[in-house]
Chain A
Amino acid sequence: MKPRQQRMLAVGLAALGIAIAAGLTLRAFQDNMMFFVEVSDVAAGKYPKERNFRIGGLVVGGSVQREEGSIDIRFEVTDTACTVPVSYSGVLPDLFREGQGVVAHGRMGEDNVFAADKIMAKHDEDYMAPEVADSLSKHQQDIQQAVVKGASECGTSDS
């Protein structure tokens, strides 16, 4: 092949590859993109229906319930303004604890309980997922109080 043809071949192949890649990317992105929804928005019913999304916040103190001997667990997550009940079945991450930040993947159930299929707590004591930190700072309630008592002013904030 002549150098000119080589270059044409290279450019053509690269363009084809990128076109295929771009097409697939856009198509598959739709299905795999998971939005982070603030707890207050979830409580107000503003969340994607019939698909997975993420929520995050602090685990409300005393809200963790499990049946003796079962791996099913229920707890509440708060952004200091509102709370959302979460159910999960399986092994929890090591840093999952009342009062700590968590992020949960899953979807909203019929019973208005967030059915999580994955729970993530961060590996570092000082570290909080940026989304959660953002969401908490927006509401600016007393974090200690929210963790102990649960949220108090749901619906009164402007979100």
Chain B
Amino acid sequence: MIPEIGQFALILSLALAVCQTIFPLVGAHRGDAAMMGVGRTAATGQFLFVAIAFACLTYAFLTSDFSVLYVANHSQLALPTLYKVSAVWGAHEGSLLLWILLLAAWTLAVARFSAGLPEAFAARVIGVLGFLSIGFLLFALLTSNPFDRLIPAPADGGDLNPLLQDPGLAIHPPLLYIGYVGFSVAFAFAIAAMISGDLDQKWARWTRPWTTVAWMFLTLGIALGSWWAYYELGWGGWWFWDAVENASFMPWLIGTALIHSLAVTEKRGLFKSWTLLLAITAFSLSLLGTFLVRSGIIVSVHAFATDPTRGFFILTFLAVVVIGALVLYAWRAPSLDSDVGFGLLSRETFLLLNNVLLVVATALVLIGTLAPLVVEMMTGGKISIGPPWFNVAFLVPMLPLIILLGMGMHTAWRTQKADAWWRVLRIPAIVAIVLGVVIPLLFYGRVSLLLVVGCGAAAWIVITSLIQPIRSLRREKGTAGITRSALGMSIAHLGMGLFVIGVTIVSAFGVESDQALQPGESIEVAGFEFHMVGLSNVRGPNFSAIEAEIEIRDDGELVDTVRPQKRQYLVQKSWMTEAGIRAGLDKDLFVALGDQLGQNAWSVRIQYKPLIRFIWLGALVMALGGLIAISDRRYRAGSRETEATA
């Protein structure tokens, strides 16, 4: 009964999504306030019914209702409650429902917090979001219904993929999806602006906080996914340039470009059509990512089983959205640009360069991701592009981006006097180069060109990001301090600096070693002694495991004891590696059990990863920067109309 209610609620929300699309769009066209008003109500109703559907599916998981096919395939009686809940989005059908729920939630948020917007504009935004909802609801109902029944119901379910039974992965998809779906708001704002043909600096100010929030969540989602891959897949890497990772990374890159381009549009009224194009692209890449994942056309650890109908549906929807948006763009955008100039040395120039480099970086990732597909279609040969290519190709636009970033922050809008600019930047530049040599030499005892460049670039960003906040702290009482949005920018860039130093050090000094080890034996990796004390059998709720006790010593002194496990999940009979990690801000020591080699010996993978935590810490700080930026006064309701452009 409950699943049927869920199914029915989903159909009702489709009907409401249709209302949410048609009435506000037609109403806005005719200037009919009553019709426009339907949008908000329909959006609220749609959210309510999607939430009911989602609750029904969650209920089916919690009560282990195996007469629902999706539940039977992805849950099990002995599954811990947390994972019964996260299993809701553990596979295709449920994750699609989560996507729909989040889209409805974003729409609801727009409907609630759009009081300051002109009525017709808000109506168009809600209408466009409704159209996107229709697409995804149809997708769910026609190709991927989570409520399909399985009669007769089996006595027990097939269990959730053991890889997904992890707290990190329980929240990774929701965070990532909030980000993905969040770009639909920027997209809807762009479409609404193009329909009305009216795009001013206020438009950018409305769009900015929504985009920043989506970007924040995407940042956190990607970072969490990377962290999960690090400790749960037992590989110890943090980024693999896997097709699905790339699919989430491309919207992030374009989203980052969009945030910067929106800044120019808000402050100076420039780059309008460019900003629109980026808003369209960010969401299109989110959709493309979904297509790549769901269709299974790209080989990936994330790919779910291949289903051509689903791939076809998403591709069609993608085509409708992208082509529709681009046609509208070609028609409307040329009339939007304003005739304002700027100096060669000005913040506008640096932000333009930022955008060009981020777009080039995205293009490179896209080429690398799609190349195997293109080659197969053209020649039939099956190729793969290895991570080394991505590493090199990605560095090419990133290096200038990092250097320009530090300069751009200290450049004025419109035009900047060169001598004053140089006075601010010369000392940070010298300090950064010195630190670039000193950091690797002093702490790690080796230096190379790449290390100097990496550490120097990181130091450069950190120093230049901190100048403004420190000045603000030391200012005289009564003078104006740094604004929240400038502080947010500084913090986000600081996060970038932490990320860069983490990546540089871990790729230069990280050690990975596969060896054989048995109880009573010790091996040395990266100056640390790993001593296997013994092996024991342990039992979890739905798995049994062999656990090794390994003592890590540095110069004979005990650093820590880690307990890596090899788990066998009882239902799927599959083996899983649970790494033992001694985590620290300065370094991680990582031990994973491989295979039993004989009587008592095991193969183990031991890793020394200096500063790897800075990679995720950096992402966290970036997201924090976003949070600070959106708390800026000028985004708050009420201050919108009164405050002139800053």
Contact of B356 with A17 in the complex, beta carbons under 8 Å? yes
Contact of B396 with A21 in the complex, beta carbons under 8 Å? yes
Contact of A24 with B299 in the complex, beta carbons under 8 Å? no
Say whether chain B's binding surface is mostly helix, strand, loop, or mixed.
Answer: mixed
B219 beta carbon closer than 8 Å to chain A: no
Among B367-408, those with CB < 8 Å from A are 367-368, 371, 375, 381-386, 388-389, 392-393, 396-397
Of A64-72, A77-85, A136-144, the one touching chain B: A64-72
Question: What are 25 contact pairs spanning A and B, CB under 8 A?
Answer: A1-B342, A1-B343, A3-B341, A5-B341, A6-B341, A13-B352, A13-B353, A18-B360, A24-B392, A25-B364, A28-B393, A32-B385, A33-B383, A35-B381, A36-B381, A68-B599, A69-B516, A71-B594, A90-B603, A94-B234, A94-B576, A123-B161, A124-B305, A125-B572, A129-B299
Q: In the bound complex, what is the Cα–Cα distance between A2 and B385 (angstroms)?
A: 43
Quick one: which of A14, A17, A34, A130 contacts B306, CB cutoff 8 A?
A: A130
Q: Which residues of B contact A95 (CB under 8 A)?
A: 574-575
B340 beta carbon closer than 8 Å to chain A: yes
Contact of A21 with B397 in the complex, beta carbons under 8 Å? yes
Quick one: which of B296, B360, B514, B601 contacts A90, CB cutoff 8 A?
A: B514
B54 to chain A, nearest CB (A): 25
B605 beta carbon closer than 8 Å to chain A: yes
Q: In the bound complex, what is the Cα–Cα distance between A110 and B305 (angstroms)?
A: 38
Range for the number of chain A residues in contact with chain B: 35 or more
Among B443-479, those with CB < 8 Å from A are none
Q: In the bound complex, what is the Cα–Cα distance between A24 and B356 (angstroms)?
A: 17
B344 beta carbon closer than 8 Å to chain A: yes
Q: In the bound complex, what is the Cα–Cα distance between A10 and B344 (angstroms)?
A: 12
B595 beta carbon closer than 8 Å to chain A: yes
Tally of B interface residues using CB under 8 Å: 62
Q: Which residues of B contact A17 (CB under 8 A)?
A: 356-357, 359-360, 397
Q: In the bound complex, what is the Cα–Cα distance between A31 and B270 (angstroms)?
A: 42
Binding site for A on B (CB under 8 A): 161, 163, 234, 270, 274, 296, 299, 301, 303, 305-306, 337, 339-344, 349, 352-353, 356-357, 359-360, 363-364, 367-368, 371, 375, 381-386, 388-389, 392-393, 396-397, 514-516, 518, 572, 574-577, 592, 594-595, 597-599, 601, 603-605
Q: Which residues of A contact B305 (CB under 8 A)?
A: 124, 126-127
Contact of B389 with A91 in the complex, beta carbons under 8 Å? no
Closest to A14 in B: B356
B511 to chain A, nearest CB (A): 14
Q: A34-B383, A36-B384, A71-B514 are in contact. Are A13 and B396 (CB under 8 A)?
A: no
Among A12-70, those with CB < 8 Å from B are 13-14, 17-18, 20-21, 24-25, 28-29, 31-36, 54, 66, 68-70
Q: A1-B341, A17-B357, A68-B597 are in contact. Are A91 and B604 (CB under 8 A)?
A: yes
Contact of A66 with B396 in the complex, beta carbons under 8 Å? no
Quick one: which of A13, A14, A69 contacts B601, CB cutoff 8 A?
A: A69
Closest to B364 in A: A21
Contact of A36 with B516 in the complex, beta carbons under 8 Å? no
A148 beta carbon closer than 8 Å to chain B: no
Q: A94-B577, A126-B305 are in contact. Are A68 and B382 (CB under 8 A)?
A: no
Contact of B301 with A66 in the complex, beta carbons under 8 Å? no
Q: In the bound complex, what is the Cα–Cα distance between A13 and B404 (angstroms)?
A: 14
Q: Which residues of A contact B597 (CB under 8 A)?
A: 66, 68-71
Q: Which residues of A contact B383 (CB under 8 A)?
A: 33-36
Q: Which residues of B contact A8 (CB under 8 A)?
A: none
A122 beta carbon closer than 8 Å to chain B: yes
Q: In the bound complex, what is the Cα–Cα distance between A94 and B232 (angstroms)?
A: 12
